[in-house]
Structures are given as C-alpha cells and as structure tokens.
Homo-oligomer: A and B are copies of this chain.
Amino acid sequence: MRISALVERTGVPLATVKYYLREGLLPPGISTGATQADYTEDHVHRLQVIKALTSAAGLPLQKVKIVLSLIDAPGSDLFSALGQAVASLPPYRDEPATEHPRARALLERIGQLYDPAYPATAQLEHALEAAEEAGIGMSDERLEVYARQIRGIAEYDLQRMGSSELSPVEYAVLGTALYEPVLLAMRRLAHQDIAAKRLGGSAG
C-alpha cells in the first residue's frame, strides 16, 4: 500500500510516519519508484504498536526505541527481554534504589519471587508509602486480598500469552500498559455498583 493508506489505516499523521521512517522506528517500504514505496500489513502493525506506546501508554520516543528493539530481537532469554520491555513503561522515577522495606515484607509474606532492581518493586514501595503518609496505610489483610485477586488476573495474562497473535514482548508490553486503565476503571465502576446496591443510590 501507499504511505497515504498507512496514514489512513492507522490515524498516524503523514509527517509523523515520515519522522518514524527517518528515525528507523518504522522500517522502510519497498521502493517502487524514485519517490514511492510500498508498505505492508507489518507496517500497519508496527505503527499501531508505536501509537499505543506513545499515546496510550505515554512512552517517550527513547523508551519506544528500547521496546521496539526488544520486540525485534528478544534474544534467547525471554524472561529478561519481557522484564526489560515492561521496565520501559511509566511511571518513571529518578530516585536511587532504596531498601523497599514495605514491598519486600509483602512479597516475602506472599511468597513471590522478585527482583529488587525491577522498577515495579520501587513502584510498589512508593505506592505503599504514599498510602501510609495519607493516613490510609494498607493492613496485611487488605494487601493479601488485593494480591490474591491480582494474581488471578496475572495468571490469566500469562496463560494467554502463547495464544496471542502478538509476539511475547509485544503482548507483555501492550497487555501491561493498555489493560491497566481497564482494571482501574473496572474497580471504580464496581465500587459504584456495590455502593448503589448497599446505599440505595441511583446508578443505572
């Protein structure tokens, strides 16, 4: 297809497509003349991935490049490639690694393996600390309820990785970034539903 069809199919503006081509994020099309090239479904897919990473997931271009290079060459250690790719997602923090006492206590209690240098460990620590500072520190019981329910989701996610049309790295990155807002909206709506039924509100 022509470059104009790529634009139409993906909604990515022409100038942006050309920029991605110059930067090497999008591989060149097959040249069909001095100023024309032919693009394939692979180009459409790659643009959808870039668009999701930049718009929906909010990655800066530097991080998008890291993720794309892991998608193109995950190497022989898939576990490490998946971790590096997901570690490229926001939120980003500049602070040096700390001891993560709250995260460690929880993860050890529920028997989860974890890498202290993995960004999600610091993310959990900061989230638990922020809740504490706000006066709503999480009890062990609450953390265990949350962890159990979330684990059910994570188990399902991993089970389905093999049957996805996406590569494992694509699946991990996009499934992490794009399903997170779904989970949060679902929780807010479940609260509304339960509160309506208990408090006699008028939702729906």
Contact = CB atoms under 8 A, between A and B. Distances in A.
A187 interface: yes
B134 A192 contact: no
Interface string A173-198: 01110111111111111111111111
Interface string A138-172: 10001101111111111111101000111000011
Contact of A120 (B79, B148, B189): B189
A49 B191 contact: no
Nearest to A179: B131
B183 A146 contact: yes
Interface residues of A, number: 88
A145 B156 contact: yes
Nearest to A178: B131
Identical subunits present: 2
A160 to B, nearest CB: 7
A191 B197 CA distance: 34
Residue from A52, A86, A149 whose CB has the most chain B CB atoms within 10 Å: A149
Given A124-B189, A154-B194, A199-B79, A179 B146 contact: yes
A203 B150 CA distance: 19
A33 to B, nearest CB: 30
B166 A191 contact: no
A160 B141 CA distance: 11
B158 A203 contact: no
Given A174-B135, A174-B136, A156 B180 contact: no
A10 to B, nearest CB: 9
Closest 8 CB pairs of A and B: A79-B201, A113-B204, A52-B134, A154-B190, A124-B185, A120-B188, A127-B181, A123-B185
